[in-house]
Structure formats: C-alpha cells, structure tokens
Amino acid sequence: MQTFKENSLIYSLSILYIVLSVFLIWNQQAIFTLFPITLLAIYFAIYYTEYTFLALAFLTPLSINIEEYTQSFGLYIPTEPILFGLMIFLLMQQIQKNLIPKEVWKNPIIWAVSFYLFWIFITSVTSTLPVTSFKYLLSKLWFIIPLVFFSPRIYFKKKNILIFIWLFVISMSIAIIYTLIVHAGYSFGEKEGHWVMWPFFKDHTIYGSTIAFTTPLVFGLYFSKKHTPLVKMILLGLIFIILLGLYFSYTRAAWLSVVASLGVLLVIKLKVSFKILASIAFVTLATIFFSWDAIQMNMAKNNAEHTTEDFGEKLQSATNVTTDASNLERINRWSCAIAMFEDKPFVGYGPGTYSFEYARFQRPENLTIISTNFGDGGNAHSEYLGPLAEMGFFGMVSMLLIVAAIFYKSITLYIRWPEDEKETRTIMLAMILALVTYFVHGLLNNYLDTDKAAVPIWTFCAAFIALEINLNKRKQVKKLKP
C-alpha cells in the first residue's frame, strides 16, 4: 500500500505535468511536454534507485538530442534529465546520511576525477565566456556525481555490472538494426551512412565510436562462461549485428580503435612487463622523431580516399593529409587548439568555449572545403587537445590523469583478481578493452560531453571502484580467519 507521502508526490507531479503541458502547447513548444515525463522518472529514481541506474544502460543508446527539434540547446532525453534528478536527490541524501563509502574516496580514479572537476571550476571562473563554462561544468556534474561517486554502491553487486552490459549491448543492437534498415534503403551508400543513424546519433563518427566500444563487451559476454544453446545463439546474433554495424558505420577511427584494443588484449594476455612496453614506446617515439621528414613525405604522397569501396584503402586514407578533407579539417582544428593554448597556456579560454573562439585562430593554409570562416563547425576533435585549448596545460593533464588512473587501476585489478573466477575476469577484460577503444578514438574525436560516451565510461569507472573494494574486503576477511 502506498504511503501518504508517495500519494502526495504522485498527485503533485500529475498536476504539475498537466499545467506545464498546457502552458507549453499554448506557446507552441509541444516538444517540451517531454520534460514533465522526467518528473515521473525522478519519482521512480527515488524509490527504485538501483533500477534507475541500470535502466540508463538501455536508455543511453536510444536517447535523442532535442537540439534537433528546438534549435536552441542540446539535451539528451531521457538520460540527462534522469541524471540531473539523480544528482539532486543523491546530494540531498548525502547531506542527511553518508551514502558514499569511505573506501571510494581512496581510489585514484576518484582523485583524478575530482581534480578534473576542480580545474573545470577554476577555469570557468577565468573563462572568456563564464556562462558557457559554468553550463559546461553543470553538465559534467550531472554525469560524474551520480555515476562515479554514488553508483559504486550499485555495483557492489557483481550481477548489476553484468545487467548493465547486457542492457547496453541489447539497446545498442536495436539502434544498429534501425540504422541498417534505413541505410539499406539507400543501398548502404557511404554519403547516406553519415546520417542514417539519426535521431539516436548525431553522425557516423559518434555512432561508430559507440559500436567500437560495444564490440569487446559483446565478445566478453560470449566468452565469459558456458551458455545455454539459446543464449549462445542470441549472443552470436548480437555479435553479427554489431560487427555489421561497425563496418557500415564507415568510421575509420572506430575500426582502428578496435584494432588497438586487440593489441592491448595481446599485451595483457602475454603479460608483457612495463619495462618492455616502455622500451618499445621509447624506440617508436625516437623512430618517429628522427624519421619525421620521411613520414611527412609519405603521408603527402598518400592520396587514398575515404570514399573508395576497398576496405584496405579506406584504412590507408586515415593518413591521407593531402586530399582527404576530413583529415585536413582535423589538422585545422588541432592547430587552432594548440594556438589557443599558446595564447592562454595556464587557464585556457574556458570550458566549452572552443567552438566560440577557434575561428580567429584558423590559418588560411589550413582551411578546407568543410571549414567555416565563423568557426561554427564544432569542437577540437580530440579528447586531449580540447581541454588543452579550453583549460590550459593542467586541463590536458587532468584528462591524462583520468585515463592513466582508469587503466592503471583496472588492469592491476584484473591481474589481482582470482583466476578461478573466470566470468568476472572476462567481463573486466572486456570493459578494459571497451575503454581502450574510446580513449584511442579520443585522439581523433571527443564525445565525453554526450551521454553516449559518458554514461558507459563513468559507469565502468564506478564498477572498477566497486570491484576493488569488494576484493580488498574479501582479502581482509581471509586474514582475520584463524
């Protein structure tokens, strides 16, 4: 039986929904009637918080950015309103009673993320566009506070990590099937492949990035344990759908990020020591440094086009900086980011300001057929150079610290985890490889300001934190046993 408190909340939300809907329709803003529905989601989050966190896994790949309809501001429905509601609710709960276990605060991932948020705040104060920067900070808070600081409580139950991954893979498969059906109507043409994933994804680059992220996860589910014939057939079907979607995403960075994850898988499985990896990295960097002129000459001779039908030539076109407009525009954006950093090296121009500031840093020789004189083309196309331009040197350092903390803690946790627990180890490895695909892709694009990347990535951070706390507690219990 519902309590008086629950009934009062339901009646209040219903009245508010009706009043707000009438007002919005009267003002010819019917699309905003979707907002009051989130009030119901907030109610659900209050009384069924655990299920709300898990539901985000299914909702994220199918969320829709209302910017396409309102032409005013971007907001992913229903994920971001739910996350905002969770943030407010959990912070209120934190004031009344401590929800965050003290062990969470000891994790380096939390330290790195806290420094990242702190530096966003500092550079928002010094920003050239403070309102834009504080809006950017707010959007980061409603992703990070619920997902990183509070959700480890949810993932103390290992089964919830599996549920999250299953829901995310299934939802992503639905988005891929929809896209493939639409794409088939255009004979899988490459030009059409840039937008057929709408309205779930803005373009093929973020679509391809998310598919690449999902690829290790579906293989992890398949190899994690012995499944019944029915589950095995379902997983094989999902693998086929995801690989088909990956190919027809026509996203070279996504393809290369999957290849990179396979390289990391090989390194982990072969247990290559850090000294060997450091030596290889040093030799590689030294070779690139001393052979840079020759490399530039070879890249200048590369005329392979992304529009070719040959898969090998598509990959080769990733280094074409002579005629490939997409590659040339990235170089233009990166050059602008570096120039912005040189102009304001310590605090940058402010979080979220790149798209408003980079136009005047464009050099005529770097402009391409897809460049715009007003600089309204988007972001820095790099998860690392973007913070460098917007938040200065420590902005990029804060992002690199997050990446380093994530991989250090996740890989060492995987190594420490008992080898007889195959399912957990396999899922952890799949999560690590999924993160590899994103942060390698982050060299060429940046999507952490969208729910498509932020929800799974920050959730995996929370999952690793929870798993480490569980492992440490188990070891303490063993020590206490006589």
Per the CB < 8 A criterion, the answer to whether 116 and 398 are in contact is: yes
pLDDT in the model for residue 2: 44
Rg (CA), the chain: 23
pLDDT tens for 129-158 read: 999 999 999 999 999 999 999 999 999 999
Q: At what angle do helices 451-480 and 49-59 cross, to 10 degrees?
A: 130
pTM (predicted TM-score): 0.88
Residues in the chain where the model's pLDDT stays below 70: 1-42, 68-73, 274, 278, 281, 284-285, 288-324, 373-377, 479-482
In the DSSP assignment, the letter for residue 113 is H
pLDDT in the model for residue 470: 95
pLDDT in the model for residue 27: 52
pLDDT in the model for residue 105: 95
pLDDT in the model for residue 13: 53
pLDDT in the model for residue 372: 73
Domain residue extents for the chain: 1-97
In the DSSP assignment, the letter for residue 149 is I
As a dihedral over the C-alpha atoms of residue 39, residue 45, residue 46, residue 50, rounded to 10 degrees, the angle is: 180
pLDDT tens for 419-443 read: 999 999 999 999 999 999 999 999 8
pLDDT in the model for residue 303: 56
The one-letter code for the residue type at 314 is K
pLDDT in the model for residue 118: 98
